[in-house]
């Protein structure tokens, strides 16, 4: 240990160590990448199917993949992906991306709307970092189920979802997570209204 305080040895040592460890990490990453990508793909597909309310109760990843490929079409929409459910070549419903700030981090998700733009088919969150047990409950079925078959034909107020008990309210906010609930309805109102308006013009 005595004579090692030269400049060169530490540098060589660090470079070597960095080389070896980084190489190992690269190998591990390469090996597991397909698994991770497959997981992520299936997770997204599951969510999109759930938005359209056509997710089977129990399905293997392969089944989900095939259902997804048979029924869903992708389209670019404002730099993001818009998913379209097709039946016999006709558009049945859209899964529209929405995003916005949450309490701790940004929230991303999809809201499904029937092609008449009057009924919601469902909602899913792709990314959210809200407090578990409070704001995080937006990812729980109880909250999400409220959006199933929600009638949004009356959007004259410029808002399609409103937290109860405000006038015209149609969604129960989460107790103890007022901020998150408000953020979610705001981002839906903004992004989905935008989508509805562009579709109506077409």
Binds other proteins by CB under 8 A, chosen from 24, 87, 140, 166: 24
Contact 123, 53 (CB under 8 A): no
Confirm or reject binding of residue 27 to other proteins (CB under 8 A): no
Q: Which is nearer to other proteins, 128 or 170 (CB)?
A: 128
- Sequence-separated (6 or more) residues with CB below 8 Å from residue 147: 111, 120, 122, 123, 161, 171
Number of residues that bind other proteins (CB under 8 A): 26
Number of helical (H) and strand (E) elements in the chain, helices listed first: 4, 5
Contact 119, 160 (CB under 8 A): no
Q: Which is nearer to other proteins, 174 or 196 (CB)?
A: 174
Confirm or reject binding of residue 200 to other proteins (CB under 8 A): no
Instruction: Name the strand (E) or helix (H) holding 7.
Output: none
Contact 92, 98 (CB under 8 A): no
The pair of structure tokens assigned to 162 is 């409103």
Binds other proteins by CB under 8 A, chosen from 15, 18, 63, 169: 18
Shortest Å, Cβ 151 to other proteins: 31
Interacting residues toward other proteins by CB under 8 A: 1, 4-5, 9-10, 13-14, 17-18, 21, 24-25, 28-29, 32, 35-36, 39-40, 43, 129, 131-134, 176
């Amino acid at each position: 240990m005595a004579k090692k305080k030269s400049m060169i040895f530490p540098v060589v040592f660090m470079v070597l160590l960095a080389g070896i460890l980084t190489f190992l990490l690269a190998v591990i990453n390469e090996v597991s990448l397909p698994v991770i990508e497959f997981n992520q793909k299936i997770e997204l597909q599951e969510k999109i199917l759930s938005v359209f309310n056509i997710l089977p109760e129990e399905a293997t990843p392969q089944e989900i993949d095939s259902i997804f490929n048979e029924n869903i079409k992708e389209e670019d929409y404002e730099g993001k992906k818009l998913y379209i459910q097709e039946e016999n070549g006709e558009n049945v419903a859209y899964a529209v991306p929405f995003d916005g700030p949450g309490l701790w981090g940004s929230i991303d998700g999809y809201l499904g709307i029937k092609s008449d733009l009057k009924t919601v088919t469902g909602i899913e969150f792709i990314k959210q970092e809200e407090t578990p047990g409070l704001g995080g409950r937006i990812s729980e079925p109880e909250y999400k189920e409220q959006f199933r078959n929600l009638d949004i034909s009356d959007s004259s107020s410029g808002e399609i979802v409103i937290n109860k008990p405000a006038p015209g309210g149609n969604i129960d906010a989460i107790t103890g997570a007022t901020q998150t609930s408000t953020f979610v309805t705001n981002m839906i109102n903004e992004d989905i209204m935008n989508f509805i308006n562009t579709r109506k013009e077409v």
